[in-house]
Chains A and B, each alone.
Chain A
Amino acid sequence: MIRGTWLVVVALLCAGIVRNACGEDELDAGPPLSVQAVRALAASCAGCHGTNGHVVEGSKVPGIAGLSRDYFAAQMSAYRSGTIPSTVMQQIAKGYDARETAALGAYFAAQR
Chain B
Amino acid sequence: MQRRELLGSLLAGGSLAAIGACTSLPSRPKAGRVIVVGGGYGGATAAKYLRLFSDQTLDVVLIEPQPAFISSPLSNRVIGGQMQLSQLTVSYDGLRHEHGVHVLRDRVTAIAVDRQVVSLASGKILHYDKLVLSPGIEPMLDTIPGLAEGQASGRILQAWSAGSETVALRRQLQAMPDGGVFVITIPESPYRCPPAPYERASLVAAYCKQFKPRSKVLVLDANQDVIAMGALFKKAWSELYAGLLEYRNHYVLTGVDAGSLTAHFDVADDVRADVLNVMAPVRAGRLAVESGLATINERWCEVDFLTFESTLAANVHIVGDSIHAAPAMPKSGFMANAHAKVAAAAIAAQLSGQSLNAEPKLANTCYSFVSQSEAIHSAAVYRYVSDAKTFKPIQGAGGVSQARSTLEAQYADAWAHNIWADMLA
Contact = CB atoms under 8 A, between A and B. Distances in A.
Interface of A: 2, 34, 36-37, 39-41, 43-51, 55-56, 59-61, 87-88, 91-96, 100
B143 interface: no
Determine the interface band of chain B, counting residues with CB < 8 A from chain A: 35 or more
A33 B363 CA distance: 18
Nearest to B340: A43
Q: Main SS of the interface on chain A?
A: helix
23 contacts: A2-B55, A36-B357, A37-B357, A39-B345, A44-B363, A44-B381, A50-B418, A50-B422, A51-B52, A51-B421, A55-B418, A59-B414, A59-B418, A60-B410, A87-B401, A87-B407, A88-B379, A91-B398, A92-B397, A93-B397, A94-B398, A95-B394, A96-B381
Given A43-B49, A88-B377, A92-B397, A56 B421 contact: yes
Interface in B116-130: none
Given A36-B357, A55-B414, A88-B379, 14 more contacts: A36-B345, A36-B354, A39-B345, A40-B360, A45-B363, A48-B414, A48-B418, A50-B418, A56-B417, A56-B425, A60-B413, A87-B411, A92-B397, A94-B396
B32 interface: no
A43 B414 contact: no
A95 B377 contact: no
B342 interface: yes
Nearest to B337: A47
Contacts of A39: 53, 345
B399 interface: yes
Interface of B: 48-49, 52-53, 55, 334, 337-338, 341-342, 345, 349, 354, 357, 359-365, 377, 379-383, 394, 396-399, 401-402, 405, 407-408, 410-411, 413-415, 417-419, 421-422, 425
A64 to B, nearest CB: 11
Nearest to A96: B381
Contacts of B53: 36, 39
B415 A61 contact: yes
B419 A47 contact: yes
B408 A87 contact: yes
A40 B53 CA distance: 9
Nearest to B393: A95
Contact of A47 (B357, B365, B405): B365
B210 to A, nearest CB: 25
Contacts of A46: 341, 418-419, 422
Nearest to A6: B55
Contact of B397 (A45, A47, A91): A91
Sorted nearest first, the 9 A-B pairs with minimum C-beta distance are A95-B381, A95-B397, A94-B397, A61-B414, A60-B414, A60-B410, A43-B341, A91-B399, A59-B414
B179 to A, nearest CB: 38
A19 to B, nearest CB: 18
A47 B364 CA distance: 8
Contacts of B401: 87
Contacts of B418: 46-50, 55-56, 59, 61
A55 B422 CA distance: 9
Nearest to B420: A56
A41 B357 CA distance: 10
Contact of A44 (B55, B362, B408, B411): B362
Nearest to A36: B357
A88 to B, nearest CB: 5
A54 to B, nearest CB: 8
B381 A87 contact: no
Contacts of A60: 410-411, 413-414
Contacts of B363: 44-45, 47, 92, 95
Interface centre among B341, B360, B363, B381 (most CB of A within 10 A): B363
B328 to A, nearest CB: 13
Contact of B405 (A40, A87, A94): A87
B8 to A, nearest CB: 28
B55 to A, nearest CB: 7
B421 A50 contact: yes
A47 B411 contact: no
A56 B408 CA distance: 17
B319 to A, nearest CB: 14
